[in-house]
Amino acid sequence: MENKRFDLMHVSTTLVAILIFLFMLCHSLGLLFGTADFLLSYLNIASKEPLKVITIGQTNFFKAIGISSLVTAGLFLVSIIKRETLNLSKAYVLKYAIWVAICTVALYGFLMRSVSNQQGAALLFFFTTLLYLVFSRINETNGQQSSLLLNNIALLPLYAVLFYTMGFPGWAKIFGGEAVIVRYIGMFKDSFIASLPGGIPFMIYVLGVLELLVPVLLIISLIKGEFRQTVSKLWLNYALVVTILTFVMLCFGLSVILNFVGSANLVFYAIFTFLMFVYINRSSEHQKLTEI
């Protein structure tokens, strides 16, 4: 029975590797050779307010994502040919393939955030988290001592994702002007939030401050070198906890006005951020055990 379970683990890992390879390969070709109208459809994925045109800068950014996707597909192909999924203790190429995939999805997420495509950015946030969990599984089996360089830079894409996920909307709430506040007043004017001290504008500014606090904490974490494998993740953990708190508050606000889709999306955000918190601290604990 144990051998069957072990074999099924290899089979499932191989299937996931093939899945990501095919996904990255097909979309890399679309991004590299697609027309402007085709790339615009990528920019408007799941968007409630689709854009009408795509700029040259956005087109070139998509080309860069296409190149990164093609590199990712190539690494997965090499890993599959080397049959690394059948022996994860030697899955060196596979680890790099997953990390480059994380970087690729993080780049795409940045583009979604930059055009205020919230739903598209959410999908890519969840995608990034799941890739990190796969990376964690491979890393634990492969051994922390392998590929020291990769282990020391593995968290950098996460910093970027948290930075723009919280920083962009936080900046908009604080510095976006009256139009942003008016939009939120229209959303919450019939709820009890409007009768709280300071009213709706005060609550929006509080959320904006919390969202901007996350990039500040991330910068401190970067300065202290917490992205490195052997360094304690105190400030990064603070950033993750503040992120979860912000998502809880946002979810409550949308739940009050019975916005099911928006509030459910924020439940996912909070839980996936918690999973990242678990991944980071589990990896730190695993590193300590390997040093004993």
Residue environment code for 53-76, b if the CB has 16+ CB neighbours within 10 A, otherwise e: ebeeebbebbeebbebbbbbbbbb
Model confidence, pTM: 0.90
The pLDDT assigned to 229 comes to: 85
The pLDDT assigned to 151 comes to: 87
User: What are the counts of helices (DSSP H) followed by strands (DSSP E) for the chain?
Assistant: 11, 0
Report H helices in the chain: 2-33, 36-43, 56-81, 92-114, 118-142, 148-153, 156-175, 178-188, 199-223, 234-256, 260-291
pLDDT tens, residue by residue, 78-113:
999 999 988 888 888 999 999 999 999 999 999 999
The pLDDT assigned to 145 comes to: 45
Low-confidence ranges of the chain (pLDDT < 50): 1, 144-145, 289-292
pLDDT tens, residue by residue, 248-266:
999 999 999 999 999 999 9
The pLDDT assigned to 290 comes to: 47
The pLDDT assigned to 99 comes to: 96
Closest CA to 157 of 125, 187, 189: 125
Q: By the 8 A CB rule, do 232 and 155 touch? A: no
